[in-house]
Every structure is written in structure tokens, then in C-alpha cells.
Chains A and B, each alone.
Chain A
Amino acid sequence: MTQSNIGEALAPPEGLQGIVADWSSDQRAFKNVPWGKAMMWVFLLSDTFIFACFLLSYMTVRMSTTVPWPNPSEIFALSFGGEPIPLILIAIMTFILISSSGTMAMAVRSGYQRDRVNTTLLILVTAAFGASFVGMQAFEWTKLIVEEGVRPWSNPFGAPQFGAIFFMITGFHGFHVSVGVIFLLITARKVWIGEYDEGTPGFFTSRKGSYGTVEVMGLYWHFVDLVWVFIFAFFYLW
């Protein structure tokens, strides 16, 4: 161990030793991570288990059915005047959600630079992407329910469980996106009126406001994008 000057804090060890040191320090385990960020990560972990259970039930149902599973590639095809393009709506939704993640990452960055105007704008762009995603999902649901007659207990394409799985998984994800958009708008307003510059306490936690909140909001938003990556792979492409 290197010798340190009196009064100067030792740099925390890295690697596996760092894990042991952090967890056994009789202090908070997550160093250099604000309270809100650690709690958001724990929440996202629990949300991971919820979505994992949904995808698992989907796997179980699809493996155990003796009826052919409907082909998402054809069901979610759209035609723009000509031949229907397979899965194009879902592809567009994927690109929109990825773009919203990109703008959110840049919003977090501008937040830490205390660039109030750019942070607000980038969060608003993210919210707009998110709202358009929900809009396209509403369009997709309407098309399936009204035109194709898909129900949670039956559908014209094949295995009846398709509807239940589809509505449950995309519905729960869409709900997450909708909640995200609402909180993005709240965060944008807080940034715009300067609450994070002045350290105004939040209405719920009454802790001093800071731009760290934008990063915590970003974590939630990236998680929504992350879940979509798995839904896109397992439900739409598989």
C-alpha cells in the first residue's frame, strides 16, 4: 500500500478488491453514486424481473402450443401503396426509440454541463419521440383489434395465445413508455424553470434538486429502450 499524507483520503481500491472494500465498509455500498441513482437501478432490476417473467411465459406458451404460431413478419407488415413491407412498422418504432435514447443521453450530458436550454430541448425531443412511439403502438393495436379481429383469447392467424401475449407484453411496455413521457415532461419543466440550478427541493423526496435527476430519468428511459430490444428480438423477430 502506498503511503498517503495525513488527512488525505485514500483512493478506493479497484477491481474485485474494490467490491469487497465497498460492501464491507460499514458505510453506503455504492460509492460515488447518489441515493436516487442507486434506487433507480434497484427499481430497474425489479422491472427486469417483471419483463423477464413476461417473456418467459411467452416462451413457455409458444413452446407448448400444438398449433402453429402466427408469423409476426406478415401480421405487422404495412404497405405504402405497393407490396406490403414485412415488419416495417416495428422497424420504424425501433429506430424511433433508439433515437430517443440518443437524445436522452445527450440531454444528461448537457445537464451536467448546466446547459439549461439544451437540456430542456433535448428532453423535449426525447419526449416527442416517445409520444410518437406510443402513437404508432396505438395505431398497431387498433389495426389488430379492429381490422384483424385479434383478441386475447383468439385470432385469425394461429395459436390463440398470441393475442394474450401480444397485448400483455407490448401493453406493459407501452405503459412504461407513456409514464416515461409524462416524467420527461415534468423533468423538462423543472430544468427549464431552473430548479436544478437553484437546488429547489423535489415535491416527493424534499431533497435538494440537482442535474443528477436528469441522469436518473435517463436511466429509466434507456431501460425502456433496452426492454424493447428484447421484445423486438423475441416477440417480433423470433
Chain B
Amino acid sequence: MSDAKAHAEGQQHPIGIYLKIWFLLFVLSTFSYLVDYYHVEGYLRWSLILIFMILKAGLIISVFMHMMWERLALVYAILVPPLLVMVFVFLMTFQADYVFFTREMFFATGS
């Protein structure tokens, strides 16, 4: 039984789930486009963009790329390393702030 299961071919899922995710991706993209269309500004704009982006990315990875049906050994090996990029983001925020600060100083003194 488990042997047959192990040799069953690849990922087979009903077509309905792909169509539903496709539809959801369309809806989410429309929403993120509307954020720009209606000139939503400030923190509301940025948080809406991020929320729609993360939802879309999650749907693509988990369903289209079949991640939700894979064993955790693969899921963690692939999805955890990119999280470390957040450390890089954190570092570069400081660097960018510092460069901005020195530029302001430079342009203020005008030398």
C-alpha cells in the first residue's frame, strides 16, 4: 500500500483548485492595481501592497508549485533560507540611512 503510494506518479490534483487559485490571483492583482489607481497613499498603501503581494506569492508557491503537498523536509529547506534575506534588508536600511545622511550633509555645506 505505502509502496504503491510512494511510486504513484507525481502531483495530481483536481483541476478546480488550479482554476480557483487562478481566479484569486486575478482578484488580488486587480486589488493591488486599484491601490495605485485610487492613489492610496502612505502606510495604508504600503501595507496593502505588501499584503496582496504576500498573499499572491503564497498562493503561487503553495498551490501552483505544489509546496503544500510536499514533505516538510523540502518545504523548510527551500522556504527558510530566503527569510535570512530579512537580515540583509535590516542591514541595508541602516546603510541607506547613513548614505542619505552624509549626502544631506554634503549638499548642505555645498563644498
Q: Which residue of B lies closest to A42 (CB)?
A: B78
A70 within 8 A of B: no
Contact size class for A?
35 or more
Specify which chain A residues have a CB less than 8 angstroms from the CB of B70 in the assembled complex.
Answer: 33
Let me know if A109 and B12 touch, CB within 8 A: yes
Q: Which listed residue, B1, B15, B29, B37, touches A98 by the CB 8 Å rule?
A: B29
Interface residues of A in 78-107 (CB under 8 A from B): 86-87, 91, 94-95, 98-99, 101-102, 104-106
Does B2 lie within 8 Å of A9, measured CB to CB? yes
Instruction: Report A-chain residues with C-beta under 8 Å of the C-beta of B43.
Output: none
Q: Are A86 and B35 in contact (CB under 8 A)?
A: no
In contact, A238 and B49 (Cβ under 8 angstroms): yes
Within 8 A of A (CB), among B12-56: 12-13, 15, 18-19, 21-22, 25-26, 29, 32-33, 35-37, 45-46, 49-50, 52-53, 56
Interface 9-mer from A60-68, A130-138, A141-149, A200-208: A60-68
Residues of A within 8 A of B89 (CB): 56, 59
Q: Are B61 and A226 in contact (CB under 8 A)?
A: yes
CB pair B93–A101 under 8 Å, yes or no, is no
Separation of A87 and B19 alpha carbons in the complex (Å): 26
Q: Are A215 and B10 in contact (CB under 8 A)?
A: yes
Chain B interface residue count, Cβ-Cβ cutoff 8 angstroms: 59
**Are B10 and A31 in contact (CB-based, < 8 A)?**
no
Q: A87-B36, A102-B18, A211-B9 are in contact. Are A33 and B52 (CB under 8 A)?
A: no
List of 9 A-B pairs having minimum Cβ-Cβ separation, nearest first: A63-B96, A102-B22, A22-B73, A64-B99, A233-B53, A64-B96, A105-B18, A60-B96, A52-B85
Which residues in B have some Cβ–Cβ distance to A below 8 Å?
Answer: 1-3, 6, 9-13, 15, 18-19, 21-22, 25-26, 29, 32-33, 35-37, 45-46, 49-50, 52-53, 56-57, 60-61, 63-66, 70-74, 76-78, 81-82, 85, 88-89, 92-93, 95-97, 99-100, 103-104, 107
